[in-house]
Amino acid sequence: MNDGRLRLLAVHAHPDDEASKGAATVARYVHEGVEVMIATCTGGERGSILNPAMDTPEVVANLSAVRHREMATAIEILGARHSWLGFVDSGLPEGDPLPPLPEGCFALERLEVAAEPLVRLVRTFRPHVMTTYDENGGYPHPDHVMCHKISVEAFEAAGDPDRYPGTGEPWQVQKLYFHVSFHRARFEALHHAMETAGLESPYADRLKEWSDRPDGGARVTTRVACADFFETRDRALIAHATQVDPTSFWFACPLELQRAAWPTEDYELARSLVDSPVPENDLFAGVRDLVSK
């Protein structure tokens, strides 16, 4: 299908991930007329309530329904379309040793079972570009790692007529990106901007600990300018009231400082079937001309 309209599919593990990773990019492309679909692998049923104001018996008893409502609000703010892939949140195992994952959860599904709804969505929505997490899930939550696995599987399989029969006509996505949302250079820039403005920076401790963690910043190939949409990103994030405290770390750096210090959201080009030399400033680099023909 070549109707001249660009399409982007963003694949995430839980409700709220779409608002904390790539939301300003989504809002920018929606504003430009790109059709954007957000796929959410699980319902977030085992998520913790991270906003004390929402930690009430009624919310706890109805967490799944509450998170679905939050997601609907965030999607409306971003202006995207949305699809639930229908899997059950695995939860984040904690302890030493780690406890086993719960039976029937997303992370324990066979790859072919977990990927099938996404292959079906790719073949019906027909995106030109997909975004997802890297092989570590962005951080090592089992659902994020599985989200990576099914996204790569869908990218590689959806165009093959012999794979996943019964899920629609084959469609080949042209590019696959991994989010590089939280990396040292970005936090250093925000930290410096706040100190220069005479504000107390919340990033100092995180930067001190950085030598003990991998830094994905070296893998950035593509920086999407989207500072004009940071406010939309924050509204989408705040819509996830069970997960996000509006007085928390997420909002410590004023928007005007963020726009000046780091006006992009960053990605790694992981797969490409088009000519798009890096570094890039557009997820659709190399694709636009093909779609407009």
User: Is 196 a member of any domain?
Assistant: no
User: Is 89 a member of any domain?
Assistant: yes
Distance CA 48, CA 64 (A): 11
User: Is 109 a member of any domain?
Assistant: yes
Closest CA to 186 of 170, 203, 172: 203
In degrees and rounded to multiples of 5, residue 171 shows phi and psi of -145, 130
pLDDT digits (tens, 9 = 90+) for 90-137: 999 888 888 899 999 999 999 999 999 999 999 999 999 999 999 998
Look at 63-77, 89-103, 115-129, 205-219 and tell me which has the smallest mean pLDDT. 205-219
User: Is 206 a member of any domain?
Assistant: no
Mean pLDDT, range 47-66, rounded to an integer: 93
Look at 73-77, 93-97, 278-282 and tell me which has the smallest mean pLDDT. 93-97
Distance CA 49, CA 51 (A): 6
162 is in which domain, residue-wise? 7-182+217-253+263-292
Average of per-residue pLDDT values in the chain: 94
User: Is 187 a member of any domain?
Assistant: no
Distance CA 37, CA 28 (A): 14
User: Is 209 a member of any domain?
Assistant: no
Mean pLDDT, range 150-161, rounded to an integer: 98
User: Is 287 a member of any domain?
Assistant: yes
DSSP 8-state class, residue 51: -
pLDDT confidence band for 215 (50 / 70 / 90):
low
For residues 204 and 285, which has the higher predicted lDDT (pLDDT)? 285
CATH number, residue 174: 3.40.50.10320
In degrees and rounded to multiples of 5, residue 185 shows phi and psi of -60, -40
For residues 249 and 168, which has the higher predicted lDDT (pLDDT)? 168
Check residue 216 and give its pLDDT: 62
Q: What is the edge-to-edge ordering of all strands in the sheet holding 7-12? A: 81-87, 35-42, 7-12, 129-132, 175-179, 264-272, 222-225
For the chain, the domain total comes to: 1
Look at residue 176 and give its three-state secondary structure.
strand
Crossing angle of helices 230-238 and 63-78, rounded to 10°: 160
pLDDT digits (tens, 9 = 90+) for 21-48: 999 999 999 999 999 999 999 999 998 8
% of the chain residues with pLDDT over 70: 97
Distance CA 219, CA 205 (A): 23
pLDDT confidence band for 213 (50 / 70 / 90):
low
Distance CA 224, CA 28 (A): 9
102, two tokens: 């719960």
* Alpha-carbon torsion (232, 17, 184, 224), positive or negative: negative
User: Is 1 a member of any domain?
Assistant: no
Distance CA 110, CA 96 (A): 26
Check residue 1 and give its pLDDT: 45
Check residue 164 and give its pLDDT: 98
CB 237 within 8 A of CB 78: no
Distance CA 216, CA 227 (A): 21
Closest CA to 26 of 13, 14, 39, 38: 38
Mean pLDDT, range 207-225, rounded to an integer: 79
CB 151 within 8 A of CB 270: no
Closest CA to 87 of 44, 144, 120: 44
